[in-house]
Amino acid sequence: MDQVRVRYAPSPTGQLHIGNARSALFNLLFARHYQGKFIIRIEDTDTKRNVKDGEKSQLDNLAWLGIVADESPLTPGQYGPYRQLERLDIYQKYANELLQKGLAYKDYLENSDKYAIRFKVPSNITYTFNDMVRGPLKFESKEVEDWVILKENGIPTYNFAVVIDDYLMKITHVLRGEEHITNTPKQIMIYQAFNWTPPLFGHMTIIVNEKKKKLSKRDTNVLQFISDYKDLGYLPEAMFNFISLLGWSPRSSEEILSSNELINLFDSQQLSKSPAMFDQEKLAFINAQYIKKLDPLALIDLCQPFLQQAGIKIINQEWLINLLTLFQDRLVYGAQIVEFYQKFFSQFTLSEELLNTLKELPALIVLKVLIEKLENINFNLDSINEAIKNVSQQTNIKGKELFMSIRISTTAESHGPSLPHSLLLLGQTEVIKRLKQALNALKGVKL
C-alpha cells in the first residue's frame, strides 16, 4: 500500500459539529493506524455561507480534541494551498482541459458573454465502487444530467473541486458521511475523464439521537457543538474517546480507551452499517471516569474557572483541593462543581422524609453527644474522626445508624462523599449549627 493520505475538508461556516468532529477523528485514527498523513483542507468556495473566524473556530476546536493535522493552512506541506479560494487558477486549468477534450462545454448566460462550464455526462454508463463501509454500490449515468463544474465567476462546484484537490494532494482514502454517497458518481466521472485512479471511498452512517431521529442542529435535547462541551468542562480526552465509538466498534472489551489505544485498534472494517446513537448517558459515564483519574492540580485547572465565574470565594488551595476531591467521584463535567458547592453550603433543609428517617434512627442521642465532642476541639480531619469514634464508644451506636444520623443532620442527604471530609469542608461553626438545627427538629421545636 502507498502511504495512506486522508483528509478532513470542512467549510468555514460555523462551529465544529459533533458529526464533523467524528469525520475528522475517524480520518485521524485511520491515518495514524497506518502511519499515514492526515490533511485538513478548507473548502471555502461557498462564500455566502462562510463565517468570520469560522476556520479558526474549526481548527481551535479540533486541536482541543487532540485532532491536529500533518498538513493544513496552519502547517502547509508540498501540496498546498490548503484553502480552495487560493486554488482557483488550478480549477480553471483543469476545467479548460476538459473543454479541450470535448468532455465539457460552455453554458452561456442568457444575453451575456459570461458562461459556466458543464460536464458532459456519458450515456449508458454504470458507475461502480466498493464502499469501505457498505460494500459494492452502483449508479447509472442516465440518472445524472450534465452538471456545472465551474461557475461563471470562476468558482468551482463542490464535486469538481474535491476531485482536483484529492488527486493533487494524493489522497488515498476518503472517509466521510453517508450524505456524500450521491456525490460519488459525479466525482468518479471526473476521475475517469482525466484517467485518474479514484481513492477508496467509505461512507459512515448518520448519528441519531436517543429517539433514533437523525441528529439535527434543531434538536435542543442534545448539545451539538464541540465548543458546548468544552465550555461545560468536559475533558478533551473523554470526548475523543466517546466520539470514536460513534459508529465504530473496536475489538476490545473496554470502553475507556486512550488515543494511542484507539489508534492501535482502529479498523475501518469495524465501522458500523447501522446509524450511530448519540448516547448521552454513555458520554456522561466516560467523562466521569476520566475526571476520577485527574490528579489534584488537573482537577483545579478543570473546576476553578467555574467557581470563579460563579463568584465563589476560594479560601486557599488546601480548601479548594478538599472541595474538589470531595466531589471528584460525583462530577460528570467541570461546571457541575458550582451546583455541588451551592447545594452543599447553601441549601440545607431537612425534608419531612429525611426527618422521618432520622426519627427511625437513634439520632437524638448521637447528635447530643456529637455536639459536645465537636464544640471544644481543634477542628481537623483527625479530630473529627476521633470525635465520631468517641460518640460510637460512648453510645454503643455503630455503622449505618451512627453515620446516617450524622450525615442527614449535616448534609441533608442520606448518601454522599466521605463524611469526615464533608464535615471538615463545612467548618466547625456550620456543622454545629446544623446539628443543633436537626436536634431541635427531632425534639419537635418549631424552627
Is residue 295 exposed (0-12), middle (13-18) or buried (19+ Cβ within 10 Å)?
exposed
Looking at 264, 293, 322, the residue that finishes a domain is 293
**Which whole number is the average pLDDT over 280-290?**
97
Domain boundary among 293, 316, 331: 293
The reply to whether 246 and 340 lie within a common domain is no
Q: Are residues 307 and 276 in the same domain?
A: no
Q: 237 and 382 in one domain?
A: no
Does some domain include residue 211? yes
Q: Which pLDDT value is given to residue 447?
A: 40
Domain boundary among 251, 273, 293: 293
Domain match, 312 and 284 both? no
Residues 310 and 437 in one domain: yes
**Residue 413: inside a domain, yes or no?**
yes
Tell me the DSSP string of 94-131.
Answer: HHHHHHHHTSEEEEEPTTSS-EEEEE-PPSS-EEEEEE
Q: Is the pTM of this model over 0.75?
A: yes
pLDDT of residue 179: 94
391 is a domain residue: yes
How does pLDDT run across 170-193, given as a tens digit for each residue? 999 999 999 999 999 999 999 999
Domain identity same for 281 and 377:
no
pLDDT digits (tens, 9 = 90+) for 331-363: 999 999 999 999 888 878 888 999 999 999 999
Are both 260 and 384 inside the same structural domain? no
- What average pLDDT score do residues 105-127 get? 95
Q: What is the pLDDT of residue 414?
A: 87
Question: Does 325 share its domain with 265?
Answer: no
The angle formed by the CA atoms of residues 44, 46 and 48, to the nearest 5 degrees, is 115
- Between 446 and 292, the more confident residue is 292
* Cβ–Cβ under 8 Å, residues 106 and 67: no
Model pLDDT for residues 250-270, shown as the tens digit of each residue:
988 899 999 999 999 999 999
pLDDT, residue 388, reads 95
Together in a domain, 236 and 320: no
- What is the overall mean pLDDT for the chain? 94
Same domain, residue pair 221 and 242 = yes
pLDDT above 90 coverage of the chain, percent: 87
What dihedral angle (degrees, nearest 10) is formed by the CA atoms of 162, 168, 173, 175? Answer: -30
* Res 348: pLDDT: 82
Residue 88 lies in a domain: no
**CATH code, domain carrying 259:** 3.40.50.620
> Where does the pLDDT of residue 443 fall: very low under 50, low under 70, confident under 90, or very high at 90 and above?
confident
Please check the confidence at residue 444 and state whether its pLDDT lies above 90: no
Does 139 reside within a domain? no
Neighbouring-strand partners of residue 346: none
* Least confident residue range of 45-54, 57-66, 394-403: 45-54
What 3 state SS string does 342-377 have?
HHHHHCCCCCHHHHHHHHCCCHHHHHHHHHHHHHCC
Q: Is residue 274 part of a domain?
A: yes
Can you give the pLDDT at residue 431? Answer: 95
Q: At residue 210, what is the residue type?
A: E
Q: What is the pLDDT of residue 1?
A: 62
Structurally, the chain folds into a number of domains equal to: 2
What is the structure's pLDDT at 258? 96
Q: What is the pLDDT of residues 425-438, one digit of tens each?
A: 999 999 999 999 99
Report if residue 103 sits inside a domain. no
277 in any annotated domain: yes
The answer to whether residue 40 scores a pLDDT higher than 90 is: yes
Domain residues for the domain of 391 are: 302-442
Distance CA 425, CA 321 (A): 10
| Residues 324, 271 share a domain | no
For residues 320 and 430, state if they share a domain: yes
Range 22-29 average pLDDT: 98
CATH code of the domain in which 420 resides: 1.10.10.350
